[in-house]
A and B are shown apart, each in its own frame.
Chain A
Amino acid sequence: DTEVTQTPKHLVMGMTNKKSLKCEQHMGHRAMYWYKQKAKKPPELMFVYSYEKLSINESVPSRFSPECPNSSLLNLHLHALQPEDSALYLCASSPQGASTDTQYFGPGTRLTVL
């Protein structure tokens, strides 16, 4: 089973709202990732968690706040977003975060900020 699940599939929020994106995997992977993707562009890395600790933050604005409650779950908390933050948000996981790992992506959450 190489499945990463994400909820919700679609989210519309106002600029003053607080919402959360959720990601789950049951492959026993110890590295999990958040990416942002604009239409017809490649995914852009936002955060990496390795063994439940934040290991990479690609200078993401503080209105995005990641959380890794346990080895299977990854959340992305959203607050005071801007319309330009509208995008497809992808979660991925890999076995250990090594340079020979393979990353598996979830289906994404389509976020629209009004």
Chain B
Amino acid sequence: GQQLNQSPQSMFIQEGEDVSMNCTSSSIFNTWLWYKQDPGEGPVLLIALYKAGELTSNGRLTAQFGITRKDSFLNISASIPSDVGIYFCAGQLYGNKLVFGAGTILRVKS
């Protein structure tokens, strides 16, 4: 089946640093989504990518849909304490089904 490899598994960074995480797959996707989840809450959509090569920003967040349609990255600039949480990538190819990465746990040291 389809699988997403998300890395790194966890990060512990200084406040103000830039963060980068990525997802790769052996399969192509039509859509890449990035979600952030706080403890005890549902995933919140950060960025949605619909076209190969697309680069999209949302405030301090930037994400790109890889040109091969098999990968995506998410960058966070100038991290702040509220960036703490788990970040999930998700790819979508057929209809309703999302394939999730295992998540990146982000911890920020203030």
Contact = CB atoms under 8 A, between A and B. Distances in A.
Contacts of B33: 102-103
B35 to A, nearest CB: 7
Given A42-B102, A105-B35, A48 B96 contact: yes
Contacts of B19: none
Contacts of A81: none
Contacts, number: 68
20 contacts: A4-B42, A40-B86, A41-B103, A42-B90, A42-B101, A43-B43, A48-B96, A97-B96, A98-B95, A99-B94, A100-B30, A100-B31, A100-B50, A100-B92, A101-B31, A101-B96, A102-B33, A103-B45, A105-B42, A108-B42
Interface of B: 30-31, 33, 35, 40-45, 48, 50, 86, 88, 90, 92-98, 100-103, 105
